[in-house]
Structure 1
Amino acid sequence: MMTYQLMFLCLIVLAKTYGDRFTDMEEIRVVLVGKTGVGKSSLANVLLNKDAFVTGIGSSSITQMTQSERVTIKFPGFDRKKLVIIDTPGLFCTRANNDEIAEEIGRCVEMSLPGPHVFVYVISGSERFTKEDLNTFNHLKLRFGDDFINHVIVVFTKIHPNEVSEFAKSHTKELKDILAQCNNYHTHINTKTPRDRLTREIASIWKLIYETVQKNDCTHYTSFMFKQAEKRREDDKKREEEKLRLEREVLRQAAAKEKKREKEKQQWEKEKEILQKKNEELEAKRKEEEMKRKKEETKRKEEIKEEEKKREEREKKRKEEKERNKEEEERKEEEEEGKYEWLNGHCDLKAYTLIALGLSGTLFTAGPLAVASTGVAATGAVLKYMCDV
Structure 2
Amino acid sequence: MSTTVIVAHNPPRRRQSKSEPPMMRIVLLGKSVSENSRVGNFLLERAVFDSEAPPDVVERIGGRLKDRHVTVINSPQLLQKHLSLRHITQAVRECVYLSDPGPHVIVLLLKHECSAEDQECVEKVLDCFSEQVYQHTMVLTTQNPTENNDILQKIIQKCCNRHFSLQGSSSPDDLLQTFEDIVQMNDGRHLDCAEASQCFKMKQQATESFSEGEKLNLVVCGSDGTLKSSISELILQQTDRSSAVDLHGRVISVVELPALFNTRLSEEEVMRQTLRCVSLCDPGVHVFLLIIPDASLTDEDKAEMEEIQSIFSSRIKKHIMILIMQNSEHQTAELNEETQSVIERFGGRHHFFGPTTQVSTLMENVEKMLEENSGEIFSTQLFLEDIWRKCEEMKKKIHSLETHLLSQGNEQKNWS
TM-score category of the 2 structures, normalised to the smaller one: 0.3 to 0.5
The structure whose residues are more often helix, as a share, is 1
Bigger share in strand:
2
* TM-score (norm. length: structure 2): 0.42
